[in-house]
């Protein structure tokens, strides 16, 4: 990361060593709020017995180039392998563990959607409640509140809360 300077509104979200199918050898992956950087250490021969190692940026993928379909970021994780679909090309990234792959996928999704995993989960639950309310025609939240306050029999005797139209 010595050669790469962050922009003013850019932060590092994840760092780790990975293998990418289309790049020979291991790479240092740096995920920022704007891009994914693949960096490798290259050994350069200076003299007869002297060598120098420097970091070289092998590839940079802008997060805005990662495909989105039906509001879902097109990154699939299977075990420790992550498949990334971009507008230019598709590639696999191999991580050392499933946990590291999961961290990376979560951070990329957070950066692209500008939401956290808990916010996305909350939206899914709200959507499910709204769908049930529409299909069954009653207010699920008020009915559950009634069950908690009055018990099941009390709620049934007082009536299930209907949706107001």
Q: pLDDT band for position 103 (50/70/90)? A: very high
Task: Phi first, then psi: give them for residue 131, nearest 5 degrees.
Answer: -65, -45
Question: Structure pTM?
Answer: 0.68
Q: 158 pLDDT exceeds 70?
A: no
How far apart, in Å, are the Cα atoms of 48 and each of 1, 6, 51, 113, 154?
28, 36, 8, 52, 90
Q: When comparing pLDDT for 52 and 118, which is higher?
A: 52
Pick the closest to residue 16 from 72, 98, 86, 85 (CA basis).
Answer: 98
Q: 79 pLDDT exceeds 50?
A: yes
For 12-114, CATH gives: 2.30.29.30
H or E stretch covering 106? helix 98-113
Arithmetic mean of pLDDT over the chain: 82
How far apart, in Å, are the Cα atoms of 113 and each of 8, 106, 109, 110?
20, 11, 6, 5
Handedness of CA 6, 9, 15, 18 (dihedral sign): negative
* Token duo for residue 24: 């020979």
Q: 105 pLDDT exceeds 90?
A: yes
Residues near 105 by beta carbon (within 8 Å), at least 6 away in sequence: 75, 77, 82
pLDDT of 123: 72
pLDDT of 77: 93
CB count within 10 Å of CB 141 equals 10
Q: When comparing pLDDT for 126 and 99, which is higher?
A: 99
Q: How far is the C-alpha of 159 from the C-alpha of 165, rounded, in Å?
A: 17
Q: 81 pLDDT exceeds 70?
A: yes
**Beta-bridge partner residues of 32:** 12
Where are the domain boundaries for CATH 2.30.29.30 in the chain? 12-114
CB count within 10 Å of CB 137 equals 11
* Cα 128 → chain centroid: 22
Q: 153 pLDDT exceeds 90?
A: no
Q: pLDDT band for position 1 (50/70/90)? A: very low
CB count within 10 Å of CB 18 equals 20
pLDDT of 157: 59
């Amino acid at each position: 990361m010595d050669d790469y300077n962050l922009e003013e509104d850019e932060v590092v979200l994840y760092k780790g060593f990975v293998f990418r199918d289309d790049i020979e050898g291991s790479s240092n992956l740096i995920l920022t709020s704007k891009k994914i950087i693949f960096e490798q250490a290259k050994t350069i021969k200076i003299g007869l017995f002297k060598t120098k190692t420097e970091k070289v940026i092998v590839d940079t993928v802008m997060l805005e180039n990662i495909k989105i379909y039906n509001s879902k970021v097109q990154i699939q994780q299977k075990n420790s392998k992550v498949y990334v679909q971009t507008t230019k090309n598709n590639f696999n990234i191999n991580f050392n563990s499933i946990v590291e792959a999961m961290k990376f996928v979560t951070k990329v999704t957070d950066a692209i959607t500008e939401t956290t995993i808990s916010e996305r989960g909350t939206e899914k639950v709200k959507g499910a409640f709204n769908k049930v309310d529409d299909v069954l025609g009653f207010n699920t939240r008020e009915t559950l509140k009634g069950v908690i306050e009055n018990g099941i029999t009390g709620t049934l005797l007082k009536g299930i809360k209907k949706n107001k139209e």
